[in-house]
Amino acid sequence: MKKIGYIRVKMFKWQIRHLIVILLASLSVYLIEQSSNWNEMHSWNRATGDTSLFMIAFALIIGPLTKIFPRSVWLIPWRRELGIYAVILALIHIAIIIVGWVEWDLITLFGFKSDPSLEGYLMSQRGFGLGNLLGVIAIFYGLLLAFTSNDLSQKFLGGSSWKFLQQVVNTFWMLVILHTSYFLYFHFLDFPKDLPEPSWLQIYFLILVIVVIFFKVVAYVKTVGRKRQQKIHDIGN
């Protein structure tokens, strides 16, 4: 009976986390979309992409945060929900681009443009193509993480294998950084000057990346320090 009660409480907490993350993510998407001065398609595209980015960053910060402040260990379970819904938003972000921007002409997603005189395609936007290619690769990494972010996968793969697989989150984050950096800082440089102002996310994105790096470095230094102290203590005894 105690075991059944524990499972019920665990499931209830799991459901609450999902609900809270969904509500906060939805609110973020709505507020970003409403504050945008781009067209409707691009506003929703940016809103889903920006929110996904923030959620990935928060999920990455939780691990180092618990090493720096052990009492924050209660945040660990939230990484799963943040990661899962970040990937879902990233998929919506891509779907909006495919339907609204390249209009199902998938090859144009990678920088090619139809040339009637050649009856084919020419590479016209290398940066655009590379940026999107990095985004697509990132999505595959994200899906791998999302599909294995559950207790069933952990039991099936085994603790060590599962943890090793989850380490691809660092590669995922690097791909997200490269993809986002291109579209925030470089993509619109060749566009007419009468376009709307660049995304407000430019400065916040830079701060966000620095914050993630800061927490990871501090957590690493603190972990190394603790291990050295433990080693000295063991030698002394």
Pick from 68, 75, 69, 73: nearest CA to 224? 68
Location of structure tokens 């080693």: 231
Geometric angle at alpha carbon 165, from 159 and 167, rounded to 5°: 105
pLDDT beyond 80 at 8? no
How many Å apart are CA 220 and CA 120, to the nearest integer? 52
1 pLDDT band, cuts 50/70/90, is very low
Quote the pLDDT of residue 12: 53
pLDDT top residue among 107 and 146 = 146
Quote the pLDDT of residue 119: 66
Across the range 16-45, mean pLDDT stands at 88
pLDDT beyond 50 at 175? yes
Break the chain into its structural domains and give their ranges. 2-188+198-226
pLDDT beyond 80 at 90? yes
pLDDT beyond 90 at 22? yes
Q: How many CB atoms lie within 10 A of CB 105?
A: 13
Taking the model in full, what pTM does it have? 0.83
- Tens digit of each residue's pLDDT (9 = 90 or more) over 24-33: 999 999 998 8
How far are the Cα atoms of 3, 51, 53, 57, 209 from residue 204, in angstroms, in the given order?
Answer: 45, 12, 11, 12, 9
Quote the pLDDT of residue 233: 65
Share of the chain above pLDDT 70, in %: 84
String of DSSP letters for 92-141: HHHHHIIIIISTT-GGGGGTEEEETTTTEEEE--HHHHHHHHHHHHHHHH
61 pLDDT band, cuts 50/70/90, is very high
DSSP-derived 3-state class of residue 197: coil
62 pLDDT band, cuts 50/70/90, is very high
- Tens digit of each residue's pLDDT (9 = 90 or more) over 156-166: 777 777 777 77
Is 5 buried (19+), middle (13-18) or exposed (0-12) by CB count in 10 A? exposed
> In this structure, what are the phi and psi dihedrals at residue 121, rounded to the nearest 5 degrees?
-120, 145
How many Å apart are CA 100 and CA 214, to the nearest integer? 37
3 pLDDT band, cuts 50/70/90, is very low
39 pLDDT band, cuts 50/70/90, is confident
